[in-house]
Amino acid sequence: YPQFDANATVYCYWGTSDGGTEAGNWQNVASLGTPGAGHIAHTPVNLDPSTRYFFRFQAVNSAGEHWAEESNSTTTFPLGLA
């Protein structure tokens, strides 16, 4: 892996299909800035109910880019149950 430090910019990608490690294959992206070491999180808004969403994180700095090992997914609640 490239060497990543607290200066790495972190991105969260998500959508209704798994875009893998190709940024252009994802429907949405949010820059989380340079959060430093530790846990990171992002809460997307305007998600459709009862829909499966995939997500993956990427870190980028002068050493290159690194994607999370695999995508994860979750399904949103139906309307009225959230």
DSSP per-residue codes, the chain: -----TT-EEEEEEESS--TT-GGG-SEEEE-----SS-------SPPTT-EEEEEEEEEETTEEEE-SS-EEEEPPPTT--
Look at residue 24 and tell me whether its pLDDT is greater than 90.
Answer: yes
Q: What predicted TM-score, i.e. pTM, was given to this entire model?
A: 0.86
Q: What is the model's pLDDT at position 1? A: 43
Percent share of the chain, pLDDT over 70: 91
Closest alpha carbon to 35 in 19, 54, 58: 58
